[in-house]
Amino acid sequence: MSEKLFKIISKVMNVDFKDVNNESNPSTISNWTSFNGYVLLYELETNFNVKFSIDEAMDVKNVADIKRHLKNHGIDVND
């Protein structure tokens, strides 16, 4: 599942799959602008069939945060 998440991130941010990890964040991925961050959440909502709240959206600072919020929606991407 981690792979699925990293693939989506690498596609939206247009970075190599191997460059994505739990610590990835707007300062390590140059394409991670606030808008692309939002596009990413949109893609995650579509792909994992979840809806993030505005609090969750604002709380995302890195990939680990995304995993944590996905887990709150019952999706464990570390499986």
User: Where does this chain bind another protein (CB under 8 A)?
Assistant: 11-12, 14, 34-36, 38-39, 42-43, 46, 54, 57-58
Cβ atoms 34, 28 nearer than 8 A:
no
Q: Which is nearer to another protein, 11 or 76 (CB)?
A: 11
CB of 62 to another protein, least distance (A): 18
Return the CA Rg of the chain: 11
Up-side HSE of residue 66: CA atoms within 13 Å toward CB? 27
Q: Which is nearer to another protein, 17 or 38 (CB)?
A: 38
CB of 71 to another protein, least distance (A): 21
Q: Residue 20 and residue 72: Cα distance in Å, rounded? A: 22
